[in-house]
């Protein structure tokens, strides 16, 4: 109740106002008090700490026999501990000390209930405090006397009421229109348009009391803006006295006559609050009301047109939009702006605002000397603070700073850039600078002979080019080429002259700017074309960290492009990247690792990393578990490097696997993807599979199968699959129900996940005990996998064929998949062109021939002729599988005829001479079957 | 005649030799070039007291035409800074010494020089009044303002606030040096009194390469 009364209820000058909202609140309170006795009889008897006292309209005669009357005064029979009566009336004052009596008073008051409660609340601004004592909520509630218990209960009841009251008043408040400075301005413009001298005018005049408009659109002084007041108006209607009007966010009302600022008592409200100016005028001016209706249509029309115009202006030019989207960038979202986070009434302008405004004035109206002084003083403000940044922008300082860059005064340019370099850390300022065309000028400054100026311009560009459009602007104005030219210096000689040192500094700033710019694909291209790569390679030999970080940052950003990856390898940058892995700066280490991560897809690069002994520092960096970005880059580099088995051997030596396994838990996904990827690669070597098991890696791997990140799932399935090739591992996987999890990943919509899961299933079936039984236990599992043969993805098809070949080893399962139509589906695939698929398809065909009439069915479906063609493949593993399939198929005579017709014999004869015994045997068996058929045929013919 | 010029060449070379030893930043050839330039300028001068050196108006012409300075008061102060013996003429020695700082001075030398220029009454401090005097033309005067000097006064106050480290309401040389070290841009805080890079380059090319061309 306390909060509701102070916050929601509308008070003026210590009185409760007569307003609908207050009335509603009071009615609720009256109801509450009236029902208190019956609802909470025990709490009602509680004696208040202090009496509620107010001036009442009740007379002694109103009281019933329950009370003792003595003359005009009344008191209750029950008293408190000290003998004071709980109710005492000495007209016109009444004091009450319990809810039971309050309740009775309200009942006695009948028609004047509302008035009594009203008077009571006005007199007792904090009723709860009086009832329960000032410190009740905060002080010790520990004493467990029944009285304290009741007090707590009463407090809870009152708080409940409070919430209830607030809730109902909020619904009321929210129905009201809240005015904004823009809405007021619009209304005033409209009203001005209906003023004039003619017969038809609605008003004589409309004017603001102040001509000054603050940047937030308000015209009231800041200390009044705190009250939500927007502006003051003086409106002269045609038929009444001038109206002095306050427009506030809550609505508009008459004030006591504000003619100018500064008359304190004039701000007081003198009328009801109306929702807008027109409504207020309607109630105050008869002339206005009568004539408004004629013009209201016109007014509305005007408003509509204005709003349409407004919308039109806001839509951006169509031409640039298309290009905007064509630009790809690696961090496209980073800066693509959150809209401005400022409330519409900016009430408390800090003193910095005014000081900065003054300095900007000097910048505008000063000669070079005054400008330099003003610039230097502006730098003394805390430019990292948002208020100062926005103040500079809002008072028009950015325009001046950018204009200064176009002058010939070097000092002014330096001063201006020093400020812009700082404030461009704010994304709003960055946008403003770009919008004002600052980038173009800064790019042209890069040609200046003054090195300090060049540095500052490049640094500012580095800050501004954090969003796409700015990066494009830099490129379009030839900035990339100029920035690349800045890189030209001698970074590594020990003895540098002062001039050379300055050159190094310039190069460092240039690298910073290129780093920001390199986040757009086309800029990467532009840097390369401008000859940036050899320069970056040279700077990479620099011993200075502040130089290396932007250089390596740019390189790793650009390494997403193939051309850069090749260049990084051929220009010998891997050696330097590896060298810097050993430095003591984590940011630099991260960028180096990240560059290696991106480049090590290439085998030659992986070998170089090993040759330059980069693998050990990578493993050492795995211990930096707190820096997740570093960890993600390092694990990524390890993953890609482990694609070479020579590297895996090294990793074994450095005990990398144990570390990697320990990183399987509690890591962000970008780390997990890489860790699991690395484990998957390492597990291709048998010894490592045991290591993973021994260091407890299998349970976390299996549990990762339940994740949703697709990249992670691809890697996890691969790792689990690799582990499953060892039967001891398989036991653990089986126990953790890993095969079921893998199987359910076949339902994943991503084909990469499907394929990877199917590959992983193969070793599982091969190594699990009772694999057939296990597979059958997956309800609908066989149908699911057979249906994947309809996938358009070759890799999925190959993996599923491989899995089917394993499944078909179990006769019962073979029968089931035959029922699901595996034969025609496999036959359909025989004409696809893909060596990998051919091999596993042939394996699957060979296995599926083992059931019933499948051999005949394959022949009828036309699978034989394509299979014969597979023998012409260059891949020996295809030969083996195909020969086996043909051997199985050749057990059916009509297949033999088809094979013979397709010229299989000559091909098989060649393969019989192969060193591969399995191939030999299958080829020979097939030829034997064909031969036998021929012999039988001859025998039949010639008897 | 040839004897004369031969003799004067000899004199000039000797002078150059001595000056290049006394003054930093210039080698002997450069000093010689500057002396020749000085003599050339003297020749143009119609004043009969040629022997004393360059006079004020001649020197101001050079500052204005060669080094692009415009502020009369500052140019006078630069003249005073060059004219170390206060005889209202710049001797050849003062000329070479002055140009050494002007063209190639180190930061320390420039700070000292600028402070001398700005310390109008030479009492070792730049006072409020001196600042006001030097800055009085630095802002466009708003005709609407009640006190047109208000902006300047405020500018003086914020400058003092920034540079007066010991809070005695005036700038000592130490204050000035500290402020400039902190922010190099403040070296010429009260008016341009040093040439910019472009005119230095132009002057040096003109002065030092002429002899070879002849």
pLDDT in tens, B179-208: 999 999 999 999 999 998 888 989 988 888
CB-CB: which of B159, B196, B197 is closest to A373?
B159
pLDDT in tens, A78-118: 777 777 788 888 878 888 888 888 888 888 777 778 788 88
- Which token pair is A384? 């990292």
On whether any CB of chain A is under 8 Å from the CB of B10, the answer is: no
The CA–CA distances, whole Å, from A229 to A11, A220, A845, B18 equal 17, 6, 84, 79
For residue A414, the chain B residues in CB contact (below 8 A) are 185
**What is the least distance, in Å, from the CA of A508 to any CA of chain B?**
21
Q: How far apart (Å, rounded) are the C-alpha atoms in residues A210 and A196?
A: 21
Q: Which residue of A has its CA nearest to B197?
A: A450
Q: Of A866, A870, A871, which is closest to residue A908 (Cα–Cα)?
A: A871
Q: State the pLDDT confidence band at B213, using cuts at 50, 70 and 90.
A: very low
State yes or no: pLDDT of A313 exceeds 80.
no
State yes or no: pLDDT of A923 exceeds 50.
yes
Q: How far apart (Å, rounded) are the C-alpha atoms in residues A677 and A246?
A: 68
For residue B186, the chain A residues in CB contact (below 8 A) are 372-373, 376
Q: Of A327, A650, A626, which is closest to residue A476 (Cα–Cα)?
A: A327
Q: Of A593, A687, A573, which is closest to residue A633 (Cα–Cα)?
A: A593
Do residues A478 and A484 touch, judged by C-beta distance below 8 A? no
Most A CBs within 10 Å: which of B126, B132, B137, B155, as the mutation test of the A interface?
A: B155
Q: What pLDDT does residue B180 have? A: 94
On whether any CB of chain A is under 8 Å from the CB of B158, the answer is: yes
Phi and psi at residue A16, to the nearest 5°? -75, 130
A237 forms bridges with which residues in the sheet?
A203
Do residues A141 and A148 touch, judged by C-beta distance below 8 A? yes
Q: Do B158 and A372 touch (CB under 8 A)?
A: no
pTM of the model: 0.65
Q: How far apart (Å, rounded) are the C-alpha atoms in residues B113 and A358?
A: 31
Q: Do A367 and B137 touch (CB under 8 A)?
A: yes
For residue B189, the chain A residues in CB contact (below 8 A) are 369, 372-373, 376
Q: What pLDDT does residue A675 have? A: 94
Q: Do B138 and A411 touch (CB under 8 A)?
A: no
Q: State the pLDDT confidence band at A665, using cuts at 50, 70 and 90.
A: confident
Q: What pLDDT does residue A699 have? A: 93
Q: Of A863, A831, A868, which is closest to residue A849 (Cα–Cα)?
A: A863
Q: State the pLDDT confidence band at A485, using cuts at 50, 70 and 90.
A: very high
Find where tokens 């000085």 sit: B38
pLDDT in tens, A769-800: 888 888 888 888 899 999 999 999 999 999 99
- Centroid of chain to Cα A694: 39
The CA–CA distances, whole Å, from A115 to A23, A27, A54, A123, A688 equal 10, 10, 11, 12, 87
Q: Which residue has the higher pLDDT, A809 or A45?
A: A809
* Fold for the domain defined by A821-942: 1.25.10
For residue A419, the chain B residues in CB contact (below 8 A) are none
A243-248 and A68-70: which strand pairing?
Answer: unpaired
Q: What pLDDT does residue A326 have? A: 41
Find where tokens 């080829």 sit: A923
Through-space distance between the first and last CA atoms of chain B, rounded to whole angstroms? 19
Q: Do A365 and B158 touch (CB under 8 A)?
A: no
CB-CB: which of B134, B162, B190 is closest to A376?
B162
**What is the least distance, in Å, from the CA of A378 to any CA of chain B?**
10
Through-space distance between the first and last CA atoms of chain A, rounded to whole angstroms? 116
| Average of per-residue pLDDT values in chain A | 83
Do residues A830 and A863 touch, judged by C-beta distance below 8 A? yes
Q: How far apart (Å, rounded) are the C-alpha atoms in residues A675 and A636?
A: 7
Q: How many CB atoms lie within 10 A of CB B8?
A: 11
Q: What pLDDT does residue A385 have? A: 87
Q: Do A369 and B140 touch (CB under 8 A)?
A: no
**What is the least distance, in Å, from the CA of A454 to any CA of chain B?**
15
Do residues A704 and A712 touch, judged by C-beta distance below 8 A? yes
Q: What pLDDT does residue B86 have? A: 87
Lowest-pLDDT range of A259-273, A490-504, A827-841, B74-88: A259-273
Q: Do A372 and B191 touch (CB under 8 A)?
A: no
A85 forms bridges with which residues in the sheet?
A79
Q: Of A866, A852, A794, A789, which is closest to residue A826 (Cα–Cα)?
A: A789
Q: Of A52, A122, A131, A62, which is closest to residue A93 (Cα–Cα)?
A: A52
Do residues A753 and A713 touch, judged by C-beta distance below 8 A? yes
Q: How far apart (Å, rounded) are the C-alpha atoms in residues A258 and A130?
A: 40
Q: Which residues of A touch B (CB under 8 A)?
A: 358-359, 361-362, 365-370, 372-377, 379-380, 410-411, 414-415, 449-450
Among A6-20, A292-306, A344-358, A369-383, the range of highest mean pLDDT: A369-383
Element containing residue A229 per DSSP (H, E)? strand A229-237
Q: Which residue of B has its CA nearest to A412?
A: B185
Do residues A579 and A609 touch, judged by C-beta distance below 8 A? no
For residue A372, the chain B residues in CB contact (below 8 A) are 185-186, 188-189
Q: How far apart (Å, rounded) are the C-alpha atoms in residues A3 and A9?
A: 9
Q: Do B159 and A377 touch (CB under 8 A)?
A: yes
Q: What pLDDT does residue B7 have? A: 63
Q: Which residue has the higher pLDDT, B92 or B50?
A: B92
Q: Of A592, A597, A565, A595, which is closest to residue A581 (Cα–Cα)?
A: A592
Q: How far apart (Å, rounded) are the C-alpha atoms in residues A618 and A653?
A: 13
Going by the DSSP 8-state scheme, the letter that residue A853 receives in this structure is T
Q: Do B135 and A369 touch (CB under 8 A)?
A: yes
pLDDT in tens, A505-517: 999 999 999 999 9
Q: State the pLDDT confidence band at A366, using cuts at 50, 70 and 90.
A: confident
Q: What pLDDT does residue B142 have? A: 67
CB-CB: which of A361, A367, A373 is closest to B189?
A373
The CA–CA distances, whole Å, from B150 to A396, A482, B163 equal 22, 45, 20
Q: What pLDDT does residue A1 have? A: 55
Q: What pLDDT does residue A491 have? A: 67
Do residues A840 and A801 touch, judged by C-beta distance below 8 A? yes
Find where tokens 């036991």 sit: A731
Q: What percent of chain A shows pLDDT beyond 90?
A: 41
For residue B202, the chain A residues in CB contact (below 8 A) are none
pLDDT in tens, A431-442: 999 999 999 999
For residue B139, the chain A residues in CB contact (below 8 A) are 362, 365-367, 370
Q: How far apart (Å, rounded) are the C-alpha atoms in residues A926 and A930?
A: 6
Do residues A230 and A179 touch, judged by C-beta distance below 8 A? yes
Q: What pLDDT does residue A319 have? A: 37
Could you tell me which residues come within 8 angstroms of residue A198 by beta carbon, excluding any fewer than 6 positions away? none
3-state DSSP call for residue A146?
helix
CB-CB: which of B162, B191, B196 is closest to A380?
B162
Q: Which residue has the higher pLDDT, A565 or A166?
A: A565
Q: Which residue has the higher pLDDT, A298 or A15?
A: A15
Whether the CA torsion A798, A802, A807, A811 is positive or negative: it is positive
State yes or no: pLDDT of A176 exceeds 60.
no
Element containing residue A236 per DSSP (H, E)? strand A229-237
Q: Which residue has the higher pLDDT, A223 or A423?
A: A423
For chain B positions 105-144, those within 8 Å of chain A (CB to CB) are 134-135, 137-140, 142
On whether any CB of chain A is under 8 Å from the CB of B197, the answer is: yes
Q: What pLDDT does residue A239 have? A: 79
Averaged pLDDT, A145-164:
77
Q: What percent of chain A shows pLDDT beyond 70?
A: 88
The C-alpha angle with vertex A472 and arms to A329 and A590, in degrees rounded to 5, equals 40
Phi and psi at residue B64, to the nearest 5°? -75, -50
Q: How far apart (Å, rounded) are the C-alpha atoms in residues A442 and A473?
A: 11
Q: Which residue has the higher pLDDT, A302 or B45?
A: B45
Please compute Rg for chain B using Cα positions: 20
Q: Do A376 and B135 touch (CB under 8 A)?
A: no
State yes or no: pLDDT of A901 exceeds 50.
yes
Lowest-pLDDT range of A237-251, A590-604, B46-60, B76-90: B46-60
Averaged pLDDT, A252-281:
75
Q: How far apart (Å, rounded) are the C-alpha atoms in residues A181 and A217?
A: 5
Q: How far apart (Å, rounded) are the C-alpha atoms in residues A724 and A736?
A: 12
Q: State the pLDDT confidence band at A299, using cuts at 50, 70 and 90.
A: very low
For residue A358, the chain B residues in CB contact (below 8 A) are 154
pLDDT in tens, A16-62: 666 766 777 788 888 888 888 777 877 788 888 888 888 888 777 77
* Maximal CA-CA distance, chain B: 70
Pick the CATH number of A181-258+267-301 from 3.30.70, 3.40.1000, 3.40.50, 3.30.2280: 3.30.2280
Q: Do B158 and A375 touch (CB under 8 A)?
A: no
Q: State the pLDDT confidence band at B45, using cuts at 50, 70 and 90.
A: low
Q: State the pLDDT confidence band at B8, using cuts at 50, 70 and 90.
A: confident
Q: How far apart (Å, rounded) are the C-alpha atoms in residues A149 and A156?
A: 11
3-state DSSP call for residue B162?
helix
The domain locations on chain A are 3-173, 181-258+267-301, 821-942
State yes or no: pLDDT of A167 exceeds 80.
no
- Which token pair is A41? 């009889």
Q: Of A586, A541, A585, A535, which is closest to residue A558 (Cα–Cα)?
A: A535
Averaged pLDDT, A910-938:
89
Q: How far apart (Å, rounded) are the C-alpha atoms in residues A810 and A808?
A: 5
Q: State the pLDDT confidence band at A236, using cuts at 50, 70 and 90.
A: confident
Q: What pLDDT does residue A325 have? A: 39
**What is the least distance, in Å, from the CA of B47 to any CA of chain A?**
35
Is the previous residue joined to A92 through a cis bond, with omega within 30 degrees of 0?
yes
Q: Do A372 and B188 touch (CB under 8 A)?
A: yes
**What is the least distance, in Å, from the CA of B88 to any CA of chain A?**
28
B159 forms bridges with which residues in the sheet?
none
Buried b (16+ CB within 10 A) or exposed e, A621-633: bbeeeeeebbbbb
On whether any CB of chain A is under 8 Å from the CB of B159, the answer is: yes
- Which token pair is A624? 């930096």
On whether any CB of chain A is under 8 Å from the CB of B200, the answer is: no
Lowest-pLDDT range of A25-39, A635-649, A697-711, A722-736: A25-39
3-state DSSP call for residue A803?
helix
State yes or no: pLDDT of A222 exceeds 50.
yes
Most B CBs within 10 Å: which of A358, A361, A370, as the mutation test of the B interface?
A: A370
Burial of B136 (0-12, 13-18, 19+ CB in 10 A): middle
**What is the least distance, in Å, from the CA of B94 to any CA of chain A?**
27
Q: Which residue has the higher pLDDT, B82 or A215?
A: B82
Q: Which residue of B has its CA nearest to A363?
A: B139
CB-CB: which of A367, A370, A414 is closest to B185?
A414
Averaged pLDDT, B147-153:
82
For residue A400, the chain B residues in CB contact (below 8 A) are none
Averaged pLDDT, A577-583:
91
Q: How far apart (Å, rounded) are the C-alpha atoms in residues A846 and A851?
A: 10
CB-CB: which of B137, B155, B196 is closest to A373?
B155
Instruction: Order across the sheet with A203-208: list the strands.
Output: A203-208, A229-237, A243-248, A251-254
Q: Do A449 and B197 touch (CB under 8 A)?
A: yes
Averaged pLDDT, B38-46:
77
Q: Which residue has the higher pLDDT, A669 or A316?
A: A669
Element containing residue B14 per DSSP (H, E)? helix B2-22
How many interface pairs between A and B have CB atoms less than 8 angstroms apart?
Answer: 62
Q: What is the DSSP string of B98-155?
A: HHHHHHH--HHHHHHHHHHHH-TT-SSEEEHHHHHHHHTTSBPPPTTSSSTTHHHHHH
Q: Do A372 and B186 touch (CB under 8 A)?
A: yes
Q: What pLDDT does residue A332 have? A: 42
Q: Do A376 and B186 touch (CB under 8 A)?
A: yes
Phi and psi at residue A235, to the nearest 5°? -115, 130
Q: State the pLDDT confidence band at A842, using cuts at 50, 70 and 90.
A: very high
Do residues A413 and A407 touch, judged by C-beta distance below 8 A? yes
- Check: CATH 3.40.50.150 for B109-186? no
Could you tell me which residues come within 8 angstroms of residue A92 by beta carbon, excluding any fewer than 6 positions away? A55, A56, A57
Averaged pLDDT, A605-612:
93
Find where tokens 């910095």 sit: A352
Q: Do A373 and B139 touch (CB under 8 A)?
A: no
State yes or no: pLDDT of A71 exceeds 80.
no
Q: Which residue of A has its CA nearest to B180?
A: A376
Q: How many CB atoms lie within 10 A of CB A301?
A: 11
């Amino acid at each position: 109740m306390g909060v509701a009364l102070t916050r929601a209820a509308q008070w003026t000058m210590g009185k409760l106002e007569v307003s609908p909202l207050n009335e509603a609140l009071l009615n609720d309170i009256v109801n509450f008090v009236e029902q208190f006795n019956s609802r909470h009889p025990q709490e009602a008897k509680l004696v208040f700490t202090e009496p509620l006292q107010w001036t009442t309209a009740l007379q002694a005669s109103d009281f019933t026999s329950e009370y003792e009357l003595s003359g005009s005064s009344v008191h209750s029979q029950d008293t408190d501990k000290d003998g004071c009566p709980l109710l005492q009336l000495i007209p016109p004052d009444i004091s009450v000390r319990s809810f039971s009596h309050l309740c009775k008073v309200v009942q006695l008051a009948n028609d004047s209930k509302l008035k009594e409660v009203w008077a009571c609340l006005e007199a007792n601004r904090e009723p709860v405090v009086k009832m329960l004592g000032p410190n009740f909520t905060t002080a010790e509630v520990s004493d467990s006397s029944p009285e304290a218990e009741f007090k707590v209960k009463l407090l809870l009841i009152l708080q409940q009421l409070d919430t209830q009251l607030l809730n109902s008043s909020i619904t009321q408040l929210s129905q009201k229109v809240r005015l904004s400075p823009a809405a007021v301005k619009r209304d005033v413009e409209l009203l001005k348009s209906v003023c004039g001298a003619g017969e038809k005018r609605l008003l004589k005049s409309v004017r603001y009391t102040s001509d000054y408009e603050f940047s937030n659109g308000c015209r009231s002084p800041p200390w009044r803006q705190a009250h939500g007041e927007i502006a003051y108006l003086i409106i002269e209607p045609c038929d009444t006295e001038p109206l002095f009007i306050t427009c506030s966010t809550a609505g508009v009302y008459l004030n006591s006559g504000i003619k100018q600022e500064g008359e304190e008592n004039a701000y007081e409200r003198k009328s009801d609050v109306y929702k807008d100016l027109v409504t207020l005028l309607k109630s105050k001016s008869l002339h206005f009301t009568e004539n408004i209706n004629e013009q209201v249509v016109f007014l509305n029309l005007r408003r509509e047109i204005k709003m349409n115009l407004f919308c039109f202006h806001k839509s951006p030019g169509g031409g640039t939009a298309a290009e905007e989207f064509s630009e790809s960038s690696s961090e496209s979202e980073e800066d693509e702006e959150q809209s401005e986070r400022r409330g519409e009434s900016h009430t408390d302008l800090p003193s910095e605002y005014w000081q900065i405004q003054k300095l900007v004035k000097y910048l505008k109206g000063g000669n070079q000397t005054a400008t330099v002084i003003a610039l230097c003083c502006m730098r003394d403000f805390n430019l990292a603070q948002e208020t100062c940044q926005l103040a500079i922008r809002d008072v028009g300082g950015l325009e001046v700073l950018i204009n200064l860059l176009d002058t010939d005064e070097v000092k002014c340019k330096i001063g201006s850039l020093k400020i812009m370099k700082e404030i461009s850390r704010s994304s709003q300022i960055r946008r403003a600078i770009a919008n004002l065309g600052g980038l173009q000028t800064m790019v042209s400054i890069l040609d200046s002979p003054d090195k300090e100026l060049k540095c500052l311009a490049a640094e500012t560009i580095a800050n501004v080019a954090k969003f796409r459009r700015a990066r494009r602007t830099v490129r379009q104005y030839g900035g990339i080429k100029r920035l690349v030219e800045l890189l030209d210096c001698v970074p590594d000689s020990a003895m540098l002259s002062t001039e050379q040192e300055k050159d190094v500094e310039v190069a460092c700033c240039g690298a910073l700017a290129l780093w920001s710019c390199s986040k757009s694909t086309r800029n990467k291209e532009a840097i390369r074309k401008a000859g940036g790569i050899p320069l970056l390679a040279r700077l990479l030999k620099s011993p200075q960290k502040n130089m290396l970080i932007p250089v390596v940052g740019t390189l790793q950003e650009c390494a997403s492009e193939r051309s850069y990856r090749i260049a990084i390898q051929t220009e010998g940058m891997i050696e330097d990247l590896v060298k810097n892995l050993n430095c003591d700066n984590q940011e630099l280490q991260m960028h180096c690792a990240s560059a290696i991560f991106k480049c090590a897809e290439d085998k030659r690069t992986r070998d170089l990393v090993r040759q330059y002994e980069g693998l050990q520092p990578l493993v050492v960096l795995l211990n930096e578990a707190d820096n997740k970005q570093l960890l993600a880059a390092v694990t990524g580099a390890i993953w890609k490097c482990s694609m070479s088995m020579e590297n895996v051997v090294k990793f074994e030596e450095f005990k990398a696997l144990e570390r990697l396994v320990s990183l399987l838990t509690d890591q962000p996904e970008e780390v997990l993807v890489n860790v699991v990827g690395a484990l998957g690669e390492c597990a291709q070597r048998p010894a490592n599979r045991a290591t993973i098991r021994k260091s407890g890696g299998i349970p976390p791997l299996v549990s990762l199968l339940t994740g949703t990140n697709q990249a992670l799932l691809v890697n996890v399935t691969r790792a689990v699959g690799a582990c499953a090739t060892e039967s001891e591992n398989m036991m653990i996987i089986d126990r953790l129900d890993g095969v079921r999890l893998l199987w359910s990943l076949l339902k994943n919509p991503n084909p990469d996940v499907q394929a990877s899961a199917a590959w992983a299933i193969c070793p599982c079936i091969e190594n699990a005990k009772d694999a057939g039984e296990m597979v059958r236990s997956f309800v609908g599992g066989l149908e699911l996998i057979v249906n994947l043969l309809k996938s358009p993805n070759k890799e999925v098809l190959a993996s599923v064929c491989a899995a089917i070949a394993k499944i078909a080893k179990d006769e019962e399962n073979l029968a089931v998949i035959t029922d699901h139509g595996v034969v025609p589906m496999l036959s359909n695939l025989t004409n696809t062109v893909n060596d990998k698929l051919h091999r596993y398809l042939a394996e699957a065909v060979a296995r599926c021939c083992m059931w019933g009439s499948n051999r005949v069915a394959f022949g009828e479906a036309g699978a034989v002729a394509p299979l014969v063609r597979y023998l012409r493949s260059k891949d020996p593993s295809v030969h083996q599988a195909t020969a086996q399939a043909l051997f199985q198929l050749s057990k059916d005579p009509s297949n033999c005829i088809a094979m013979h017709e397709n010229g299989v014999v000559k091909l098989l004869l060649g393969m019989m001479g192969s060193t591969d015994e399995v191939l030999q045997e299958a080829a020979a068996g097939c030829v034997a079957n064909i031969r036998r058929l021929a012999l039988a045929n001859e025998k039949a013919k010639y008897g | 005649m040839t004897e004369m010029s031969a003799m004067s060449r000899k004199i000039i070379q000797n002078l150059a030799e001595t000056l290049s030893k006394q003054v930093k930043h210039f080698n002997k050839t450069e000093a010689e070039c500057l002396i020749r330039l000085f003599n050339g300028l003297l020749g143009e001068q119609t004043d009969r007291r040629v022997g004393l050196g360059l006079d004020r108006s001649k020197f101001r012409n050079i500052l204005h035409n060669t080094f692009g300075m415009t502020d009369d008061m500052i140019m006078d102060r630069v003249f005073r800074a060059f004219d170390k013996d206060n005889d209202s003429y710049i001797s050849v020695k003062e000329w070479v010494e002055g140009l050494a700082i002007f063209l190639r001075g180190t930061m320390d030398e420039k700070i000292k020089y600028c402070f001398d220029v700005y310390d109008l009454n030479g009492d070792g401090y730049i006072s409020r009044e001196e600042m006001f005097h030097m800055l009085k033309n630095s802002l466009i005067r708003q005709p609407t303002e009640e006190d047109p000097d208000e902006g300047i006064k405020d500018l003086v106050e914020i400058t003092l606030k920034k540079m007066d480290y010991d809070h005695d309401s005036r700038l000592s040389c130490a204050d000035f040096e500290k402020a400039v070290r902190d922010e190099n841009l403040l070296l010429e805080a009260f008016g341009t009194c040093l040439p910019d890079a472009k005119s230095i380059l132009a002057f040096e090319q003109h002065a030092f390469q002429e002899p070879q061309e002849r």
